[in-house]
Amino acid sequence: MKAKLRELRDRFGGEVTGDLEVSIEACASLTTAGTGDIAFAEAARYRPQVEAGGASAYLVTEDFPDVPGKTLWAVARPRETFIGLLAYFYPDPQYASGVHASASVASSAQLDHGVSVSEYVVIGEDVRIGRGTSIESGAHVGCGVTLGEDCRIGPNVSLLRGVRLGNQVTVNAGAVIGGDGFG
């Protein structure tokens, strides 16, 4: 995704000193930011990093000192604005509902509307999966597991026998829930 700083300012508010037409493509740290990136400088003590940095723009507090030659975007709540920028530039992936041909789903499993089951997923007997849940490639959903609505089960996750997860739960790649020593 790419946006002009003007568009971002219009969306999130604040005041810009510098180039409103600069293109922003990503969020980055002060130490790694380069052309096309916006970096977050939380306090005036980061002024030396802004002076030396290569970001196209910097998100700063309203009382951040001016840095000649740098594009600064001052907002009242920069931490919250940066979180908004992260969601804008890195949205959650959207999955098409349905079951991939390589997935194995037990006949007694119940999948609500809008469930997405990716490649090489195994879903055991008596599983219940709520509306809008996505299960990414290689995951194992054991017998008797219940998943709520709008969950995201990452690749190669193992949900073992009888696990119950509520609504809007995210389980990241490779996690094992219900194994020895954990539930």
Strands 164-165 and 146-147: parallel
Query: Residue 119 is which amino acid?
Result: E
The pLDDT-based confidence of 182 (bands split at 50, 70, 90) is low
In the chain, the domains with their CATH numbers are 3-89 (3.40.1390.10), 98-177 (2.160.10.10)
User: Quick check: 93 pLDDT over 80?
Assistant: no
Q: Which of 17-26, 32-41, 98-107, 173-182 has the lowest mean pLDDT?
A: 173-182
pTM strictly above 0.75: no
Q: What is the pLDDT of residue 104?
A: 98
Q: What's the confidence (pLDDT) of residue 94?
A: 77
pLDDT of res. 181 = 72
> 111 vs 66, 101, 127, 133, CA distance in Å?
56, 15, 8, 9
Distance CA 98, CA 118 (A): 8
Does the pLDDT at position 183 exceed 60? no
How many angstroms separate the Cα of 169 from the Cα of each of 103, 130, 151, 160, 172?
22, 11, 5, 16, 10
Contacts of 114 (CB under 8 A, 6+ apart): 97, 131, 132, 133
